[in-house]
Amino acid sequence: MNAASRILPGFKITLGYTLLYLSLLVLIPLSALVFKTLAMS
């Protein structure tokens, strides 16, 4: 882990932000889809 952190400083932070951004990109359309189906029924 120490070698990786020396190669890429702030890698864990970048990974966290990337995962957060990707989960937002997935969750927002999914919640909109669920909301539309609930509103239709």
Separation CA 29–CA 7 (nearest Å): 36
Q: Give pLDDT, residue 11.
A: 84
Total domains in the fold of the chain: 1
Q: Give pLDDT, residue 27.
A: 96
Residue ranges in the chain modelled with pLDDT below 50: none
Q: Give pLDDT, residue 31.
A: 96
- Domain hosting 24: range is 2-40
Q: Give pLDDT, residue 41.
A: 76
Q: Give pLDDT, residue 35.
A: 94
pTM equals 0.53
